[in-house]
Structure 1
Amino acid sequence: MAKRALILLEGHRSSGRLYMKAAERLGLHPITLAANPVQYDYLAAEGIETVHVDSDNFEGLIHECSRLRAIYDIAGITGFSGFDESVYATVGKLCRYFDLPGPNPISIERCCDKLTQRQLLAEAGVPIPAYRIAENATDIESFASEIGLPLIVKPAVGSGSSGVRLCRNVDELAEHTAYLLGGKHVWRSPPRILVEEFAQGPYYDAHTMGNEVVGIGAADFGPPPHFVFRAGIFPAPLTDDENKRIADVSLSCLRALGLGWGPTNIEFRWTKHGPLVIEVNPRLSGGIQTIQAAYGVDLINEHIKLVIGDECDLRRKHSHTAAWRCLLPDRDGILDWIDGDSQAAAVPGVAEVKFYVNPKTPIIRRGDYTDTIGYVIAASPSRARTEAILQRAVGLIDWSITPFPTIDEQEHQPPFTSPSAQVALGKR
């Protein structure tokens, strides 16, 4: 009898290994198809079967999946959007081709185009920020005058906050326009820029599976003009009415975008007018381990069960408060050392400690998700206790960065050692 296999398209630096482990627990043989497998270090470390294939070549993917199907019983196909969210649309197409459960590729493609997404949400009456689409600097300046500063300027297609900036004045607007249109930003589609109202207020995100809201978290960011996640808590400290309003709008988003299958993450700002939808992401978010720590619900495990045609179980096993903190360097340079992970992980109540970097790694902050060099997650029955656990654990982690030599300083500038005391969970 052929071994049951799960095909995963591309990988992910944080959840990729978790998918592999979950697949194996479910009795599946994970196989990764990737254009550059070596960028996912867990594949070699875990001895995962890997196929080198251009993930943009749909015919090539069909060929490899067909070849694997002659060897294995292919139970399902899924993948990771990562930086290029078109990967998940390709997953949907492969599922349709091989008659396997999966997302609607048309819905995924429409959702990944931020302009199309906003148009569909607006047509359905979902509350969103005012926005315009621009193709050149003149458009951006015109729309800035129309909408008013401050505003958000970002690529119409992309993820991970890459190219997203808060422009608070005309100088910042001109600077970021030059960055996006001057050849520095890497475009993965014809350049189109979304100019939108800056929705001010606390940040929340809803996690759904199918048509069910699993829970709502809260988070905050590092210093503007970037939107790099800094810390968060799950579940969010909301009243019953606030929770219901966000949940109701989330379900409206799913209906408007045709996203009734699989995982979705919906980002909000709670403004003076109530919840405004910032973005709908047709995938699991980076907060899945926090949900597991808080509720005992493993969304990766349940997603894979959907992928292979089984029913998922979203019932809560317990009800704790979980919190997370990203480890963010405050300068560029070469990472001399980073340690304290084992000590932090040993603190009672710590659910996970993860480093993304090793010593001698160049640290280059880009103002997006790649700025994060690690994270810590803690959980307990109370919010105050969880925050204390997280504070203690993060305080045990330290690192040193030697700045890149400058013309004046060369190699004589002393290294920077992170101030552990500054690393604390932000209050909402």
Structure 2
Amino acid sequence: MARTALILVEGHSRGNGLRYVQAAKRFGLHPITLSADPAQYNYLSVESSEAIRVDTSNLDALIRECSRLRATYHIAGITGFAGVDESVYATVGKLCRHFDLPGPNPTSIEQCCDKFIQRQLLGEAGVPIPAYRVAANATDVESSAAEIGLPVILKPATGSGSVGVRLCRNVDELAEHTAYLLDGKHIWPSSPRILVEQFAEGPYFLAQIMGNEIIGIEAAHFGSAPHFVCRDCTFPAPITDGEHKHIVDVSLSCLRALGLGWGPTNIEFRWTERGPVVIEVNPRLAGTPDPQLVQLAYGIDLITEHIKLVVGDECDLRRRHSRTAAARLLVPDRDGTLDWIGGDRRAAAIPGIAEVQFYVEPKTPIVRKGDYRDWIGHVIAASPNLARTEVILQRAVDLIDLSITPSVPACRAER
């Protein structure tokens, strides 16, 4: 009898990829990763998980490889990871359509991954969004910023993880970041298109969604401008019932406007004078530490429930309990070479700490980029209430030490 396989297109090096592989095995599925470079995902060798090298930007090549695998395996489902190149998830949708398997609508995913088209569709549906323009060159950027009014956000029209995203508070910062995006330092998958957006000021929230159900609302805080590097996350967010309802209503409007509603989605908001304003709709599961926070707080394993959908089962999104979970992302305060990092065992031993993970090893070069790649680790805590969780988390983070040279002999991660 043929083994039942779950096909994973590409991987996810920080948390989610490993969790999908492990969840698949718990289901009795054989996970097979298709990747242009399987070696970049260390967990595959650790888990002795099968991986096949294939050009994942080539739909025909993926179809051929999946067809070949069907001679040996029963393919129960296909899913994948967007990473910085979100087009991968649209390709997953096309593969699912080709093999008549459950999956996301590829047209909806493609529309959503193009931030300009996403903005157009949301605006047409009356969803609150920042004022925006699209620009292809420096002259367009300058005129768009003048129309909207400084400060503005400059971001690539495609991509994720805050890569290439910057707050421009004056004409000098605007010119500097425009040059960065257009003069070869930012890698574009196609012709450059820059989104110029009004800066929506206010607290940041993230709606975690599966299908058409809003699982909950998360709060997060970022480091200092002009970049958007997340430092703290709390789930569920400490908001009023009225604020929660408002965010839920706008979230459902986003799903309708963009034709989403299958599988995971996460929607980013800023709470402004207008109420919740949509910053981005991401038609995929959020990365680490978000799935861990949801599971710790509500007992809902989003990865497991997603796999159920992928293989054609019904998911169960009922809350098993109600707690507060929070994460601190560790971010270095300078560039250099990491001499050492430690304290993780002592931090993990504190009651209420669920996870301590470092992403880097000693002697790793530290070159901050102003996006998610600046994270060098995380600490996650959970308890019955927010105040207790924050105390536990801070106690653990205070035990984490690192040293970076040549700037100074020793420094601590910004917390």
* TM-score normalised by structure 2 residue count: 0.98
* Residue of structure 1 in register with 2:411 after alignment: 417
C-alpha distance after superposition, 1:313-360 (max 9, x if no partner)? 000010001111000001111111111112211111111111111111
* Residue of structure 2 in register with 1:321 after alignment: 324
What is the CA–CA distance in structure 2 between the aligned matches of 1:104 and 1:250, rounded to whole Å? Answer: 18
Matched, 1:375 2:378: yes
What is the CA–CA distance in structure 2 between the aligned matches of 1:126 and 1:156, rounded to whole Å? Answer: 19
What is the CA–CA distance in structure 2 between the aligned matches of 1:275 and 1:57, rounded to whole Å? Answer: 38
Where structure 2 has 5 or more consecutive residues not aligned to the other structure, the ranges are: none
Matched, 1:285 2:279: no
Aligned residue for 1:83, secondary structure, equals coil
* Residue of structure 2 in register with 1:408 after alignment: none
C-alpha distance after superposition, 1:372-406 (max 9, x if no partner)? 01111100001110000000111111111113xxx
* Residue of structure 1 in register with 2:350 after alignment: 347
Aligned residue for 2:118, secondary structure, equals helix
What is the CA–CA distance in structure 1 between the aligned matches of 2:396 and 2:6, rounded to whole Å? Answer: 36
Equivalent pair of 1:157/1:189 in contact (CA under 8 Å): no
Matched, 1:8 2:11: no
Query: Cα distance, 1:416 vs. partner?
Result: 3.2
C-alpha distance after superposition, 1:264-298 (max 9, x if no partner)? 00000000110000000000112111111111100
Name the aligned partner's letter for residue 332 of structure 2. Answer: P
Query: Cα distance, 1:27 vs. partner?
Result: 1.1
Query: Cα distance, 1:414 vs. partner?
Result: 4.0
Aligned CA-pair RMSD:
0.9
C-alpha distance after superposition, 1:18-45 (max 9, x if no partner)? 1111111111111100001111111111
Name the aligned partner's letter for residue 410 of structure 2. Answer: F
What is the CA–CA distance in structure 1 between the aligned matches of 2:343 and 2:33, rounded to whole Å? Answer: 32
Name the aligned partner's letter for residue 368 of structure 1. Answer: D
C-alpha distance after superposition, 1:351-371 (max 9, x if no partner)? 111111111111111001100
What is the CA–CA distance in structure 2 between the aligned matches of 1:383 and 1:67, rounded to whole Å? Answer: 51
What is the CA–CA distance in structure 2 between the aligned matches of 1:363 and 1:45, rounded to whole Å? Answer: 25
Change (3 A) 1:414 1:276: closer
Matched, 1:94 2:88: no
Aligned residue for 1:336, secondary structure, equals strand
Name the aligned partner's letter for residue 2 of structure 2. Answer: A
* Residue of structure 2 in register with 1:409 after alignment: none
Query: Cα distance, 1:189 vs. partner?
Result: 2.1
Pairs within 5 Å for 1:65-84? 65-84=66-85
Pairs within 5 Å for 1:206-221? 206-221=207-222
Name the aligned partner's letter for residue 6 of structure 2. Answer: L
Aligned residue for 2:360, secondary structure, equals coil
> Once structures 1 and 2 are overlaid, which stretch shifts more, 342-351 or 218-227?
342-351
C-alpha distance after superposition, 1:143-176 (max 9, x if no partner)? 1111111110111111110110000011101100
Aligned residue for 1:186, secondary structure, equals coil
Aligned residue for 2:356, secondary structure, equals strand
Matched, 1:147 2:141: no
What is the CA–CA distance in structure 2 between the aligned matches of 1:88 and 1:151, rounded to whole Å? Answer: 29
> Once structures 1 and 2 are overlaid, which stretch shifts more, 336-345 or 85-94?
336-345
* TM-score normalised by structure 1 residue count: 0.95
What is the CA–CA distance in structure 2 between the aligned matches of 1:416 and 1:154, rounded to whole Å? Answer: 34
Aligned counterpart in structure 1 of residue 340 of structure 2, from 337, 342, 350: 337
What is the CA–CA distance in structure 2 between the aligned matches of 1:188 and 1:274, rounded to whole Å? Answer: 34
What is the CA–CA distance in structure 1 between the aligned matches of 2:302 and 2:343, rounded to whole Å? Answer: 28
Equivalent pair of 1:204/1:216 in contact (CA under 8 Å): yes
Equivalent pair of 1:8/1:30 in contact (CA under 8 Å): yes
What is the CA–CA distance in structure 2 between the aligned matches of 1:307 and 1:24, rounded to whole Å? Answer: 14
Aligned residue for 1:417, secondary structure, equals coil
What is the CA–CA distance in structure 2 between the aligned matches of 1:415 and 1:268, rounded to whole Å? Answer: 40
Where structure 1 has 5 or more consecutive residues not aligned to the other structure, the ranges are: 404-412, 424-428
Query: Cα distance, 1:67 vs. partner?
Result: 1.1
Name the aligned partner's letter for residue 224 of structure 2. Answer: P
Name the aligned partner's letter for residue 41 of structure 1. Answer: N
Matched, 1:199 2:200: yes
What is the CA–CA distance in structure 1 between the aligned matches of 2:2 and 2:370, rounded to whole Å? Answer: 47
Equivalent pair of 1:4/1:75 in contact (CA under 8 Å): yes
Name the aligned partner's letter for residue 310 of structure 2. Answer: V
* Residue of structure 1 in register with 2:401 after alignment: 398
What is the CA–CA distance in structure 2 between the aligned matches of 1:202 and 1:271, rounded to whole Å? Answer: 8
Query: Cα distance, 1:208 vs. partner?
Result: 0.5
Query: Cα distance, 1:59 vs. partner?
Result: 1.1
What is the CA–CA distance in structure 2 between the aligned matches of 1:244 and 1:166, rounded to whole Å? Answer: 29
What is the CA–CA distance in structure 2 between the aligned matches of 1:131 and 1:416, rounded to whole Å? Answer: 43
Matched, 1:30 2:31: yes
Aligned residue for 2:24, secondary structure, equals helix
What is the CA–CA distance in structure 2 between the aligned matches of 1:300 and 1:327, rounded to whole Å? Answer: 24
Matched, 1:54 2:55: yes
Query: Cα distance, 1:415 vs. partner?
Result: 2.8
Matched, 1:301 2:295: no
Q: Percent identity?
A: 72
What is the CA–CA distance in structure 1 between the aligned matches of 2:410 and 2:143, rounded to whole Å? Answer: 43
* Residue of structure 1 in register with 2:360 after alignment: 357
* Residue of structure 1 in register with 2:266 after alignment: 265
Aligned residue for 1:252, secondary structure, equals helix
* Residue of structure 2 in register with 1:167 after alignment: 168
Aligned length: 412
Aligned residue for 1:319, secondary structure, equals coil
Name the aligned partner's letter for residue 242 of structure 1. Answer: E
Name the aligned partner's letter for residue 418 of structure 1. Answer: R
Query: Cα distance, 1:63 vs. partner?
Result: 1.0
